[in-house]
Amino acid sequence: MVLNPGYVMIACRVFYSLGFINGFSNMYVERKKNLEREALIAQYRSVERNYR
């Protein structure tokens, strides 16, 4: 049985798409974590200044 090249290309596109989706979702999660961490640091620094 010989595979049609179109089917192989569709499979490649699916894996590339899943990789891009996974990469973008990881970037989103990391960015969200960093923003939350920076907000907590800023809050801590503002409270620290008020006690000095």
Which tens digit of pLDDT belongs to each residue from 31-42? Answer: 999 999 999 999
Distance CA 44, CA 34 (A): 15
Query: Domain locations in the chain?
Result: 1-52
0.95 exceeded by pTM: no
Cα angle value 1/18/3 (rounded, 5°) = 10
Model pLDDT for residues 9-51, shown as the tens digit of each residue: 888 899 999 999 999 999 999 999 999 999 999 988 888 777 6
Residue identified by tokens 């974590």 is 33
